[in-house]
């Protein structure tokens, strides 16, 4: 009997892997629950893209909910995501803040000029250091931050129509109900 134990242990492990493969087909690979959800957003303070003298940060954005979208001109997925920001995201009724991540300002401006600017303001994090506090894996990523400065929702990877209707919109509506 004891000689069967390794086999049984392995079969248990194999079923766990089988489950893992099944789980991944059911879920988005990028769905990693952030420990930051329902936590205060990191206290960031960054220069506005193209205007280093002006700083925008958590403090100046308090009072209204906003969507923080991490993007970069080097990011190919961002190009795919951009139309969603240009159309659907604008109808959410909250401010859109662009977070230009590890980018050259000139390249970022050129990219915005080419693809359009859906953002109310764009901040630039050139070395990506501030993004570490947000637990950013890469671009694109999107954070929904409420009026009190708490992170309420996070999405890793491009926003798709599906994500928009099933996740982001309900999250924004929930915010609206909370604080009329």
**Contact footprint for another protein (CB under 8 A):** 3-4, 6-7, 10-11, 13-14, 16-21, 23-25, 29, 31-33, 52, 73-74, 102, 104-105, 124, 126-127, 129
Burial 76-85 (b: 16+ CB within 10 A, else e): eebeebbebb
Q: How near is the Cβ of 103 to another protein at its closest, in Å? A: 9
Nearer Cβ to another protein (10/178): 10
How far apart are alpha carbons 63 and 23 in whole angstroms? 39
Six token digits for residue 157: 């990877």
Nearer Cβ to another protein (30/148): 30
User: Where would I find the H helices in 36-155?
Assistant: 58-61, 76-86, 105-115, 129-133
How far apart are alpha carbons 34 and 42 in whole angstroms? 13
Nearer Cβ to another protein (109/117): 109
Nearer Cβ to another protein (139/168): 139
Q: How near is the Cβ of 85 to another protein at its closest, in Å? A: 20
Q: How near is the Cβ of 121 to another protein at its closest, in Å? A: 17
* The residue to which tokens 């159309």 are assigned: 87
């Amino acid at each position: 009997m004891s000689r069967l134990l390794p086999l049984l242990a392995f079969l248990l492990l194999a079923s766990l892997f089988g489950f893992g493969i099944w789980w991944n087909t059911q879920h988005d690979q990028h769905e990693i629950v952030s420990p930051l959800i329902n936590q205060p957003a990191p206290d960031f303070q960054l220069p506005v893209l193209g205007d280093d003298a002006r700083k925008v940060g958590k403090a100046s954005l308090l009072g209204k909910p906003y969507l923080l979208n991490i993007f970069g001109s080097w990011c190919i997925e961002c190009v795919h995501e951009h139309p969603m920001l240009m159309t659907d995201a604008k109808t959410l009724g909250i401010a859109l803040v662009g977070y230009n991540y590890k980018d050259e300002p000139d390249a970022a401006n050129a990219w915005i000029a080419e693809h359009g600017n859906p953002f109310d303001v764009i901040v630039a994090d050139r070395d990506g250091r501030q993004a570490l506090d947000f637990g950013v894996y890469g671009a694109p990523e999107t954070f929904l931050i409420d009026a009190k400065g708490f992170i309420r929702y996070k999405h890793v990877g491009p926003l798709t129509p599906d994500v928009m209707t099933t996740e982001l919109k309900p999250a924004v509506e929930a915010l609206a109900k909370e604080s009329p």
